[in-house]
Amino acid sequence: MVRSFLTLCAAVMSSGCGDTANSNHASQVPVAASGSPAGGSAPISVLGGTGGMPTLAGSGGVGGQASVGTPVGGSASVGGSGSPTSTKVEKYALVVTEGGGCALDSIGAIRCWGGKFTSGDAPSGRFLALVSDGAVVCGIREDAVLLCFAEPSDNSELLPAAAIEGVSAVGVDYRQIYWLDESGKISLGLVGRFGSALPAESERFSHVTAGYLFGCGLRRSDGSILCWDALPERPPASVDCSITDELGQRDAPSGAFSDMSTRDWTTCAVRNTGELACWGAGKGSNPNSLKTYPCDAKVTTTEAVPPPGKFRRVAMGWLYGCAVAEDGHVECWGNGTADTCVEGSVECRQARPPAGTFDQVAVRRFHSCAMTAARKITCWGYPGPAGGDGRTVPPRDFQ
């Protein structure tokens, strides 16, 4: 399955994918100076521009998806538009990248560390939310403009090369990018040579996530979740269970939810009552699985088997997940729970969070970080080939 994944990803990256977004949903304008990185030897800014200051709305998850405004079933922790300093941490102020991370500081500026990104690479301005798939970092600016940046070799050609205005939420995966306009209407920015498909025009969402050739949205009306296929026609199941085969990745459970996160073929969400619900790949031998798919027998990981308890936030990484409990402690599950870290292994302590009280958590492959309500960041796991013991060090302001 992993081998098929790598083969298909290589095909996507070499296919010359283009922008297939519906311009009726959000306004696209040429890249403007305000979207360019501030100083330093900058990577490509793939989304930029200027815009007005519309009211923002939304709710969302951590990591590869973000939104700003009032979530379903709760109040947003976003500072007022125009206040020079945010006394409360923005709801989505932290992301993990390959070998490091990025976070919003007290004035809403993007600060990055580790790996290829530094603070000088980020676009300037005050931001209300961050999202990343690890290689690309995107932020929703206070004027509702979506800005993204990436190294030229890291999928920058796979994202729209124009600014997108009037954005209230975004979900990004290196195969596609979904965004919501102020009304909650969805647009799709990338599917490459595989074609495209979207939910019904009448659907309105407060939050959106992107997985491997599928998406999920949190409905504005009642907090329920709808997932859809990004392919106009799904191919038949393969003998070796390739990535496009059925794993229940679009079988969202019923109920009302307040937070949601997707990675590859797995989604986890927080019910309004606090419990976690997960679906897709990674059910392991869970006897409570609602359905059985032919390819499930070849997926022995457990990232879709969350722990019991009451939680506020959830973040999905590669073969594991982490969530912030109601009392603020972080709990993780899936791969990486062992106290070992062997290069080339899937067990590198990425699912062994430190003790403490945190506001939010972000995860990637083997690297995790959490932020407190005072914007103090702690990281753990194994961030990359030169990552040492995995405890990357954020800028001093976040220590």
Measure the CA–CA gap between 42 and 151, rounded to whole angstroms.
8
Measure the CA–CA gap between 216 and 307, rounded to whole angstroms.
22
What is the pLDDT at residue 260? Answer: 97
pLDDT of 254-313, one tens digit each? 999 999 999 988 999 999 999 999 998 888 754 444 455 556 656 678 899 999 999 999
Measure the CA–CA gap between 288 and 102, rounded to whole angstroms.
37
Angle at 354 between CA 352 and CA 357, to 5 degrees: 130
CATH of the domain spanning 2-398, picked from 3.40.309.10, 3.50.50.60, 2.130.10.30, 3.20.20.20 = 2.130.10.30
Is the pTM higher than 0.85?
no
The domain segmentation of the chain, as residue ranges, is 2-398
What is the pLDDT at residue 281? Answer: 84
- Chain CA centroid to CA 376, Å: 21
Low-confidence ranges of the chain (pLDDT < 50): 1-63, 70-84, 86, 286-290, 387
Q: CA end-to-end span of the chain, whole Å?
A: 40
pLDDT of 315-355, one tens digit each? 999 999 999 999 999 999 998 888 877 666 677 888 999 99
What is the pLDDT at residue 322? Answer: 98
